[in-house]
Amino acid sequence: MTSQFTAGLTVDLATSVPTDLYINGQWVPAADGGTFSVINPANNQALTSVASACEQDVLSAIAAAHDAGHSWASFSPRARAEILRKAFELMIEYKDVIARLISLEEGKTHAEALGEVGYAAEFFRWYAEEACRDQGTFMRAPSGANNILVKNQPVGVCLLITPWNFPAAMGTRKIAPALAAGCTTILKPASETPLTALYLAQLLEQAGVPAGVVNVIPSKRSSMVSEVSLSDSRVRKISFTGSTEVGRLLLAKASERVVNCSMELGGNAPFIVLEDADMAVAVDSAMVAKMRNAGESCIGANRFYVHHSRAEEFSSGLAQAMKALVLGDGMKEGVDVGPLVNASTINKVEQLVDQAIELGAKVLTGGSRIAGPGFFYQPTVLVDIPKHADILREEIFGPVAPIVTFTSQDEVIEAANDTVFGLAAYVIGANVGNALAVAEKLEAGVLGVNRGFISDPAAPFGGVKQSGIGREGSQDGLHEFTEKKYIAIDW
């Protein structure tokens, strides 16, 4: 279905949002006619259905991206930059529609979705600026023997796979640097949230992105998409955001042809409240770090470590703030927290909380799901958690804050680092020098000191240990899509 898009405060799914595959600048149904339903997590009802790419569609998308590659790479950096700048402007112009789509298919509140659109659009603006910089270097060899010319050139065709939790931002964080670098792309969005990605494809077309440069292929058969793509010699790069479990499978597959990999994977962020913390800063930052997107964030605070002398104060402050939140359909006015995205996500949250309670944890607020049909889980604060509870080791991905106490900084640093993950961490302390000293010792790629909001397109975002390889955002994000070519010259 090809459709016109309309700006406005409501989203007419029947007329405003494409539901076909976007391949080589055309909207096409799946070659085998396959479709799948997109569910509204607020009521577990189907919103619409979208085309589900089959093997033939994946090959068509690879061919389109490959054929468009030389032409796109030969666009001047300025020409690519201006298209990206236009994409930024269109996202801002249509921010309400995009935000409503995000709320409908993902569940977050409209206010949060608007925040996501702003953040997502910034990647186009940032990489419109970066596209014209950092084209390479030239130097004379220190020995004087020759000249060293280094060019940054596009990697080539990129497979981009994104998760559902930030349907716009996780896409633009990859598409914008890839296009700035001169790469062509195939985006496979999460099956829970394909509508936002398809709508973005429509905006990119309007911004002037040529046919074949961005292809969007939702598919219910994710592993088929990666198998076919990573087996094809025309695909030179995979950039994946999602769970560590799936990241490992993709790394193994990519190793067969030594495909260039960027991996943004899972997290288990510690949030540390030091003895001298300003309690208002601690609670406010904890609310942001925990409750962004109802807790469904890779950098979401997963474990709270609070100095024992401040534990009572922090726990009651956090419980009070969590209790005051209004849970409901994210599309409705006055709602602070929307539903979780699907049944498996809420089931996992429920299991982790139930196990912690069975092991002796005490519930300060929340502690259970709300009866359906949507996937609503109460904002929850738990204390007295035994060390071996799964909730301290696994990514919760829900609105649950488990609080543990500590006595010494060495003890808390050891506990915080006792995980295979290393994405985000937070430290709250009035003595900034001391808080920074703690931050220095934490094994994480992204840290917040005295703040809970840490995402910024201008900053390098990514994990250490099993949280990933590579960085998105900043100048580093562009380099994920370039390869260096060194030429030794005499003249």
Enumerate the active-site residues: 264, 298
| Structural tokens at position 398 | 């829900």
Query: In the chain, what is the straight-line distance between the N-terminal and C-terminal CA atoms, in Å?
Result: 58
Region binding ligand NAD by CB under 6 A among candidate stretches 79-87, 162-170, 230-238, 374-382: 162-170
C-beta separation of 107 from 338 below 8 A: yes
Q: Cα separation of 338 and 399, whole Å?
A: 10
Nearer to ligand NAD, 18 or 473 (CB): 473
Cβ-proximal residues to 157 (8 Å cutoff; 6+ apart), any chain: 62, 65, 66, 69, 183, 184, 185, 186, 234, 235, 236, 237
C-beta separation of 111 from 158 below 8 A: no
Strand 400-406 and strand 380-383: pairing?
parallel
Longest dimension (CA), the chain: 76
Q: Cα separation of 237 and 254, whole Å?
A: 9
Examine residue 105 and tell whether it contacts ligand NAD (CB under 6 A): no
- Binds ligand NAD by CB under 6 A, chosen from 222, 409, 434, 450: 222
At its nearest, how many Å lie between ligand NAD and the CB of residue 2? 24
Site string for ligand NAD, 405-424 (x = CB under 6 A): ------------------x-
Region binding ligand NAD by CB under 6 A among candidate stretches 47-55, 264-272, 330-338, 382-390: 264-272
Q: Cα separations (Å) of 467 from 244, 297, 394, 417, 448?
A: 7, 13, 13, 13, 17
At its nearest, how many Å lie between ligand NAD and the CB of residue 417? 18
Nearer to ligand NAD, 112 or 395 (CB): 395
| Structural tokens at position 65 | 């991206």
- Binds ligand NAD by CB under 6 A, chosen from 197, 203, 265, 403: 265
On the 0-12 / 13-18 / 19+ scale of CB atoms within 10 A, 391 is buried
At its nearest, how many Å lie between ligand NAD and the CB of residue 135? 27
Examine residue 246 and tell whether it contacts ligand NAD (CB under 6 A): yes
Q: Cα separation of 61 and 52, whole Å?
A: 13
Cβ-proximal residues to 362 (8 Å cutoff; 6+ apart), any chain: 382, 383, 384
C-beta separation of 390 from 381 below 8 A: no
Site string for ligand NAD, 316-345 (x = CB under 6 A): ------------------------------
C-beta separation of 261 from 159 below 8 A: no
Coil vs helix vs strand at 74 = helix
- Binds ligand NAD by CB under 6 A, chosen from 249, 281, 359, 464: 249
Written as one letter, the residue type at 478 is L
Q: Cα separations (Å) of 237 from 158, 244, 421?
A: 5, 18, 24
Examine residue 196 and tell whether it contacts ligand NAD (CB under 6 A): no
Nearer to ligand NAD, 97 or 170 (CB): 170
Nearer to ligand NAD, 16 or 466 (CB): 466
At its nearest, how many Å lie between ligand NAD and the CB of residue 186? 12
C-beta separation of 130 from 80 below 8 A: no
Examine residue 242 and tell whether it contacts ligand NAD (CB under 6 A): yes
- Binds ligand NAD by CB under 6 A, chosen from 60, 109, 162, 466: 162
**Please, how many CA atoms are within 13 Å of residue 64, restricted to the half-sphere of its CB?**
24
Examine residue 241 and tell whether it contacts ligand NAD (CB under 6 A): yes
Region binding ligand NAD by CB under 6 A among candidate stretches 141-149, 230-238, 243-251, 306-314: 243-251
Examine residue 177 and tell whether it contacts ligand NAD (CB under 6 A): no
At its nearest, how many Å lie between ligand NAD and the CB of residue 251? 11
Examine residue 251 and tell whether it contacts ligand NAD (CB under 6 A): no
- Report residue 391 CA to chain centroid gap: 22
Region binding ligand NAD by CB under 6 A among candidate stretches 55-63, 74-82, 144-152, 218-226: 218-226
Residue 81: name the closest of 208, 195, 264 by CA.
Answer: 208
Nearer to ligand NAD, 263 or 416 (CB): 263
- Binds ligand NAD by CB under 6 A, chosen from 171, 194, 266, 379: 266
Region binding ligand NAD by CB under 6 A among candidate stretches 59-67, 145-153, 160-168, 207-215: 160-168
Nearer to ligand NAD, 148 or 459 (CB): 459
25: left (phi over 0), alpha (psi -120 to 50) or beta: left
At its nearest, how many Å lie between ligand NAD and the CB of residue 295? 11
- Binds ligand NAD by CB under 6 A, chosen from 167, 366, 468, 477: 468
Examine residue 106 and tell whether it contacts ligand NAD (CB under 6 A): no
Region binding ligand NAD by CB under 6 A among candidate stretches 118-126, 128-136, 258-266, 282-290: 258-266
Number of residues that bind ligand NAD (CB under 6 A): 26
Residues that bind ligand NAD (CB under 6 A): 161-165, 170, 188, 190-191, 222-223, 226, 241-243, 246, 249, 264-267, 298, 395, 423, 463, 468
